[in-house]
Amino acid sequence: MTGPRRRPPARPAAAPVDPGPPRPDPRDRLRRVLFLVPYAVRHPGCTVKDLARRCACTEKELLEDLDFLLNVGSPPFGPDDFLDVYVEGDRVHVALHQSFSRPPRFTESEAAALAAAAEGLGGEGRERAVKALRDSVPKDRRASFDELSRRIYAGAPPAPDSVLGRLQRAMADRRAVRLAYHSASRDAETDRVVHPYTLAQRFGHWYLYGHDEERGKPLAFRVDRIRGCQPLSQRFEPPGEAELSRMRLFSETSGEPASIRIAPGATAWAIARPGIRPVRREEDGGAVVEVTAGEEWATRFALSLGGQAEVVGPPAARRHFAERVRRTLARYRTT
Amino acid sequence: MHKDQRLLDLAALLLKAAEPVSWREIQEQFPEDYAGKGEAAIRKFERDKADLLELGIPVRYAAGDEDLPAGYLIDKDEFYLPDLKLPPEDLALLYVAGSAALAQGTFPYARDLAQALNKLSFAASAPGASESAAQAARRLSAAETEAPPAVVRWLEELSRAIAHKKRVHLRYRGAERPEDTEREVDPYGLFQNGGAWYLTGWCHLREDIRTFHLSRIVSLSVNSATPRTPDFDVRGDFSLAEVAAREPWEFRVHAPVRCRVLLDTPVSDEVLASFGPRKKVREEEGALEVEVEATNSEGLLRHVLSLGPAAEIRSPRALRERARQVLAELVEGLS
């Protein structure tokens, strides 16, 4: 049993929670609180700022949550019932509680969403990981987890489980790997020593993002072009979390963007595709878009719209498109 | 009492109790909320129980025996997130897959996924944990401040509709006809292909399983009647993975047609693989002939055109003629 409840010493009495406009879903606050309390217990004296960041809310919302917690377990419960939360300066202390020392189990949709993401990436540990997620759902929700898992399919893994498994182990151990990598530009297999930082998905493909030793800079490698992966003993220091997040936003930019004019019928479809940046809508309902993945990609994209798009600029990209279209048409002159 | 406070108080009461808590005791502890003998109080309590379960807190009724009184309880083992006991490489798989899914910006159950990563990073530290927690925080706070793009909204609404098996009403802009259609659809699942998300379900307009590209959905509403009662059952023989594995020319639009495509050698592994696992390949001098069965020949046409002058449709004659026409019109537009 917990000891007597202490009122917060360093903070004026909690303002009553403003009933105000109704919150969209009271469960959102509870989700936050169920994470906030164990986190604050695990990290005594963590700052309001840090806690707010981890709970994905503003500092104001966080202080409201703490006020809310003070009201929990108030009469008719005894004074020793629940939590002792106080803020001292900018630091949060939670003490003398027992009930919420760890976060609750995964809900079936939390576990199923993470399982679907893991299934779409793959790796030797995939089945183990998915089973562990399933076991972390309350027992009588596991059937719902199974059902829901069959309703999301995030794609087929980009490489054999063995390749992905080795990459994941190397990332976890922070060890370099030797890759047998098929370079599309050279159409040849190359040998690379890479510090594997992270994996990211872009335009429907998985990429390994890592530092290429020989070239001395971070590069993106298409995972489906990695033919072999050997772990090395050499270790590396990974970049910080901010840089990792930035890497996820990489684009395969190569020079000036190409402009493509799209016919009205294909516009909605085309501008929704990944990697397409709308520039302007035409009066007839068509559109002009830009792509930055190079003129070859621009030509392929335009042709994939079945005659409803053409590359219009810059001149080099237009020439590339025109040349491709003429040469392709030449193949159809005979029947 | 505010609902969020009542839910947390109820959870705290049941977690703290040494033995099951009877309905009468619960009523005494929450005199304002569950007052009265009527059905209404019990129904309110049952709704609260369901809300708690959605937060991952399972409340159970124990019938009672010689040793224990009858009442409600929360099994501690069923409440706290257990240690997943996974090796670092499996945790890396979960963190990387989860972070990549969130960074992509479009993933079903994205909020739940972010919650899951938050909980996981709390329970298990491994490389990638802090980055995935940061991604989760970003996702959770972004949802409340920015108006999300339509696809993100559809994903969110469809996620709920799929979990609760609620029928949806779609306004859809199909690829093959200019005007929109309105349909009732029983949503069976969501899948990702080439970076885009698709809904598959029973279409009441076509009376068959149909697939919808999310970015072609103009508007969507979920049947809001009886939210806790399912509207449909998924047909027993349905497999989302099977549907998701279909190539664009395998969408059901017309009767099956055998199509032959000529590819100039050398053909890269990627181009060959792009015709899917059901193709038949025959070697010729300086070329490969690929044969596939198409139920949406327009899809095949677009794929072959996107491959440029190294590929041509050989048969059927009508499709070859259509390719020639499309290219001739493009060439005309060039001058």
Interface pTM, i.e. ipTM: 0.86
Indicate whether A264 and A297 sit together in one domain.
yes
A193 and A142 together in one domain: no
Q: Would residue A85 count as lying in a domain?
A: yes
Nearest Cα to Cα of residue A108 among A76, A151, A152, A146: A146
Tokens linked to B26:
């619960």
Domains and CATH numbers, chain B: 3-79 (1.10.10.10), 88-145 (no CATH), 150-240 (2.30.30), 257-334 (3.30.70)
If asked whether residues A2 and A93 sit together in one domain, one would say: yes
In a domain, A88, yes or no: yes
Is residue A59 domain-shared with residue A14, that is, in the same domain?
Answer: yes
CB of A297 less than 8 A from some CB of B? no
- Asked if A245 is an interface residue toward chain B (Cβ–Cβ < 8 A), one would say yes
For an interface test with A, give the residue of B73, B89, B253, B271 to mutate (most A CBs within 10 A): B89
Same domain, A8 and A62: yes
Whether A44 is in a domain gets the answer yes
Tokens of A120: 């779409």
- Considering the domain boundaries, does residue A225 fall inside one? yes
| Mean pLDDT in residue range A189-207 | 89
pLDDT category of residue A285 using cuts at 50, 70 and 90 = confident
Quick one: A92 and A5 in the same domain?
A: yes
| Token duo for residue A16 | 């009553």
Q: How many CB atoms lie within 10 A of CB B121?
A: 25
Whether A252 is covered by a domain: the verdict is no
Same domain, A274 and A312: yes
**Residue A75, pLDDT score:** 46
Last residue of a domain, one of A247, A281, A300: A247
CB B32 within 8 A of CB B40: no
Give the mean pLDDT of A186-214: 88
For residue A109, give the nearest of B2, B13, B109 by CB distance: B109
Shared domain check, A77 and A117:
no
**Is A309 part of a structural domain of the chain?**
yes
Mean pLDDT (chain A, rounded): 81
State whether B53 and A138 contact (CB < 8 Å): yes
Round to whole Å and give the CA distance between B335 and B327.
13
> Which residues contact residue B28 at a Cβ distance below 8 angstroms, ignoring those fewer than 6 apart?
A76
Domain termination residue (choose one: A247, A266, A281): A247
Q: Per-residue confidence at A248, pLDDT binned at 50, 70, 90?
A: low
A9 belongs to a structural domain: yes
Output the CA–CA distances (angstroms, integers) from residue B326 to A97, A141, A267, A329, B298, in the order listed. 72, 53, 17, 9, 11
Chain B residues touching A330 at Cβ < 8 A: 309
Chain A CB contacts of B131 under 8 Å are 198, 241, 244-245
Q: Which residues of B touch A155 (CB under 8 A)?
A: 191-193, 244
Strand order in the sheet with B287-294: B280-284, B287-294, B257-264, B311-315
Q: Domain of residue A305: give its range.
A: 258-331
The CATH number covering residue A89 comes to 1.10.10
Is residue A155 a part of any domain in this protein? Answer: no
Residue B117: CB partners within 8 Å, gap ≥ 6? A114, B95, B98, B99, B102, B132, B133, B135, B136
Measured between beta carbons, the chain A residues lying within 8 angstroms of B55 are 27, 30-31, 34, 104, 107
CATH of the domain at A201: 2.30.30
Q: Are residues A96 and A135 in the same domain?
A: no
Q: Which of B119, B145, B198, B320 would best serve as a mutation to test chain A binding (most A beta carbons within 10 A)?
A: B119
8 Å CB contact of B306 and A105: no
* DSSP class per residue in A259-323: EEEE-HHHHHHHHTSTT-EEEEE-TTS-EEEEE-S-HHHHHHHHHTTTTSEEEEESHHHHHHHHH
- Could you read off the pLDDT of A96-110 as tens digits, one per residue? 556 777 888 999 999
Asked if A77 and B29 come within 8 Å (Cβ–Cβ), the reply is: yes
Closest chain B residue to A201, measured at CA? B100
Report the pLDDT value the prediction gives residue B316, as an integer from 0 to 100.
94
Place of tokens 């930019």: A253
* Bridge partners of residue A217, in order along the sequence: A212
A73 and A5 assigned to the same domain: yes
Q: How far apart are CA A48 and CA A58, in angstroms?
A: 10
Contacts for B252 with CB less than 8 Å, ≥ 6 apart: B208, B210, B295, B296
Nearest to A304 among B12, B119, B302 (CB): B302
Least confident piece of the model among A64-78, A221-235, B17-31, B93-107: A64-78
H or E stretch covering A202: strand A188-202
Q: Write down the pLDDT at residue A73.
A: 61
Q: Are residues A312 and A327 in the same domain?
A: yes
pLDDT at A253: 54
Write down the pLDDT at residue B135. Answer: 75
**Cα separation, B133 vs B125, whole angstroms:** 11
Q: Residue B56: what residue type?
A: G
Asked if A141 and A131 touch (Cβ cutoff 8 Å), the reply is: no
C-alpha–C-alpha distance, residues B139 and B114, integer Å: 7
The residue ranges of chain B whose pLDDT is under 70 are 127, 141-148, 175-178
Q: What pLDDT digit, counting tens, does each position of A2-47 carry?
A: 333 433 433 333 444 444 444 456 777 888 888 888 888 888 888 8
Q: Tell me how many domains chain A contains.
A: 4
Residue B273 pLDDT: 87
Residues of chain A with Cβ-Cβ distance to B175 below 8 Å are: 269
CB contact under 8 Å between B134 and A326, yes or no, is: no
Last residue of a domain, one of A185, A212, A247: A247
Which residue matches tokens 């189990």?
A105
Residue A213 is encoded by which pair of tokens?
């030793």
Residues A153/A155/A160/A161 CA torsion (nearest 10 deg): -40
Q: Which of B8, B264, B304 to mutate to test the interface with A (most CBs of A within 10 A)?
A: B8
Nearest-Cα residue of chain B relative to residue A309? B330
Residues of B in contact with A332 (CB under 8 A): 312, 320, 323-324, 327
Closest by Cα among B34, B42, B37 to B6: B34
Give the one of A151, A182, A199 whose C-beta lies nearest to B162's C-beta.
A151
Chain A CA closest to residue B30: A76
What does the block give as tokens for A207? 């990429």
Q: Same domain for A92 and A119? A: no
Please give the angle made by the CA atoms of A198, A291 and A284, to the nearest 5 degrees.
140
pLDDT at residue A137 tops 70: yes
